[in-house]
Amino acid sequence: MNLDVRLPMGLLFLILGVLLLIYGAVSDPAIYAAHHNLGLNINLICGVMFSAFGLLMLFLARRGKKKE
């Protein structure tokens, strides 16, 4: 059975990461001024991480298909 979950997982994380990046970029900075998130834009940081992980999974899926 030739089941590779890297492609759909990469697409899922990339789409979610881009959505978080957009939301973090256009949201009001005042909501991040509270002490519980240390003034960091959590949505922007998670968006970057999710997008990077999604791109890594897509790269690995593409590389895996070339070897076959």
For residue 37, the model assigns a pLDDT of 73
Q: Which amino acid is at 17?
A: G
For residue 53, the model assigns a pLDDT of 98
For residue 1, the model assigns a pLDDT of 54
Q: Are 66 and 9 in contact (CB under 8 A)?
A: no
For residue 30, the model assigns a pLDDT of 82
Q: Are 48 and 17 in contact (CB under 8 A)?
A: yes
Q: Are 35 and 12 in contact (CB under 8 A)?
A: no
- The residues of the chain scoring below 70 in pLDDT are 1, 35, 67-68
